[in-house]
A and B are shown apart, each in its own frame.
Chain A
Amino acid sequence: SYELTQPPSVSVSPGQTASITCSGDDLGGKFASWYQQKAGQSPVLLIYKDVKRPSGIPERFSGSNSGNTATLTISGTQAMDEADYYCQAWDSSTVWAFGGGTKLTVL
């Protein structure tokens, strides 16, 4: 099975930029998505196909994917962004896989 590795936690000050990484073998050759999950709620899609943002997702959320690492960047982080974030990858051989999740703390 395909493994995706995320840092367990990331901290950021309000208004600053947060970066959450997701690592996997040749991840840049696959399509990555990112999800936000707040406590007690269902996940919400933030980014798909590496860089695309669904309608209704704020522009401060952006994604990139190259080499073995995909990155979710949150610009101008707000207190409401405190949540768990998961990366997910797909390709024809990988099927679907999730990273272990990163808890974002806005200090």
Chain B
Amino acid sequence: QVQLVESGGGVVQPGRSLRLSCAASGFSFSTYGMHWVRQAPGKGLEWVAFIWYDGINKYHADSVKGRFTVSRDNSKNTLYLQLNSLGVEDTAVYYCARVSEFAAGMDVWGQGTTVSVSS
């Protein structure tokens, strides 16, 4: 079945780095755009980053621009998010989600992976 599984979350000190992964299965990963969306504890959804199916077009939210980088490896059906210079404000559950076109909704979501930034 169509599935997205995130991994790589954990507890990290401020200023450190982390790489999140999102493994896709059950669909043609290389033909879909992919998003990262995060949700801080008790808060709403925040869009983080998007990468188009070919890995060329990428967009990042202003709040993470210059610190986070989205990438993908279509040969491994895997999406990545590199998180650098982490701050306490980055503490959240990070979800990956797929989309068939820019304007379409995010129709499949993973279960999320938790990132906790604490000294």
Interface residues of A (CB under 8 A from B): 1, 31, 33-35, 37, 42-45, 47-49, 54, 84, 86, 88, 90-92, 95-101
Contact = CB atoms under 8 A, between A and B. Distances in A.
A54 B45 contact: no
Nearest to A97: B47
Contacts of A96: 35, 47, 50, 59
Interface string B13-49: 0000000000000000000000101000000111100
Contacts of A84: 44
Contacts of B59: 95-96
A39 B46 CA distance: 17
B28 to A, nearest CB: 18
Contacts of A98: 37, 44-47
Contacts of A37: 45
- Nearest 3 CB-CB pairs, A to B? A48-B105, A33-B105, A101-B44
Given A33-B106, A42-B111, A42-B112, A86 B44 contact: yes
B103 to A, nearest CB: 4
A31 B50 CA distance: 17
Interface in B72-110: 95, 97, 102-107, 109-110
Contacts of B61: 1, 95
Contact of B104 (A44, A48, A100): A48
Contact of B107 (A1, A31, A48, A99): A48
Contacts of B62: 1
B62 to A, nearest CB: 6
Contacts of A33: 104-106
A90 B102 contact: yes
A100 B44 contact: yes
Contact of A42 (B44, B46, B50, B109): B109
Contacts of B44: 84, 86, 98-101
Given A33-B105, A33-B106, A97-B47, 18 more contacts: A34-B105, A35-B45, A35-B106, A37-B45, A42-B112, A44-B109, A45-B105, A45-B106, A48-B103, A49-B103, A54-B107, A86-B44, A86-B45, A95-B47, A95-B50, A96-B35, A100-B44, A101-B45
